[in-house]
A = this chain, B = another copy of it.
Amino acid sequence: MDKMTQLPPKDPELDALIGYQLQMARLRLMDAAYAVLAPYGISPARVTALALIRAQPGLDQSALGRALSINRASAMKLVNLLVERGLVERRAGRNLRSHALHLTGEGETRLPEMIARLRDSEAPLLADLSSTDRATLLQLLQRIHDPLSCD
């Protein structure tokens, strides 16, 4: 029996959808990201949360949730996990019903390492792109998710 090598199917209409290309590119990058973060036992999305907390120390859980496009209950679970890992702490907030989120010393130490690893993990996948291409890609993506930032 001849094996009839099956190339992955391709559909021109599908290929023309930004959402599809975005998803496929993301799958590749995510695989690489999970691999380099394995030693930290943390997902790329968790690193995002840490970076947002660092960028705005004292943020409360609901605001973190909004920044990540997840709801309060999901933000709660996320923060619980980061606290368990010793990367984040809940301090007294600006009023009695909200917490102020801060990185712990451990979090401050680990976050730059994690981000460096993520950057490394992207490199092989971007090898074919010139640095101009990469800058263009970053800018175009940013203009989709954050239209205000096109100054």
Number of interface residues of A (CB under 8 A): 66
* Nearest-neighbor residue (CB-CB) of A70 within chain B: B27
**Those of A21-46 within 8 Å (CB) of chain B:** 21-30, 33, 44-45
A13 contacts the other chain (CB 8 A): yes
**A residues lining the B interface (CB < 8 Å):** 1, 4, 6, 8-11, 13-30, 33, 44-45, 48, 51-56, 59, 63, 66-67, 69, 94-95, 112, 115, 118-119, 121-122, 125-126, 128-129, 133-134, 136-138, 140-147, 150
Residues from chain B with a CB closer than 8 A to the CB of A125 are 144
The CA of A41 and the CA of B89, in the complex, are separated in Å by 41
Residues from chain B with a CB closer than 8 A to the CB of A143 are 128-129
Q: A6-B56, A18-B137, A19-B121 are in contact. List 6 more A-B contacts (CB 8 A).
A: A8-B66, A14-B48, A18-B138, A19-B122, A22-B25, A23-B26
